[in-house]
A = this chain, B = another copy of it.
Amino acid sequence: MNAVSLFDNISEDLPGELFTVLAAGNGVTIERIVSKGHASAEGEWYDQETREWVLVVKGEARLQFEGKDEMHLKTGDHLFIPAHARHRVVWTPKDRETIWVAVHFS
């Protein structure tokens, strides 16, 4: 039972988003996602089998659900994403990390 920091083990250079599983079990996965200028490709939507709860721990982002206006998420903002709610990351800042915690559950 050792504590680990969400802010550790992030390399300076992130060619793609960094996904790290923090804990998992019984249909639940808790992961850290680090973005640095990353966004979903134009026209690319996440369409997930599982429910997701997501929190912006550091940084900020713009997120869009299909057919809806973009949302601006700032540090501390969280939301629940139902299964198959098509969504994409529109923007994250290039000059600093945005750190998310995502909990996926069925």
Contacts and interface: CB of A to CB of B under 8 A. Distances in A.
> Quick one: copies of this chain in the complex?
2
Interface stretch (A11-19, A24-32, A41-49, A88-96): A24-32
Interface in A63-105: 65, 68, 71, 73-74, 76-82, 85, 87, 101, 103, 105
Query: Could you tell me the dominant secondary structure of chain A's interface residues?
Result: strand
A73 B65 CA distance: 35
A45 B30 CA distance: 25
A3 B103 contact: no
A106 B96 CA distance: 36
A73 B23 CA distance: 18
Given A30-B103, A103-B30, A77 B23 contact: no
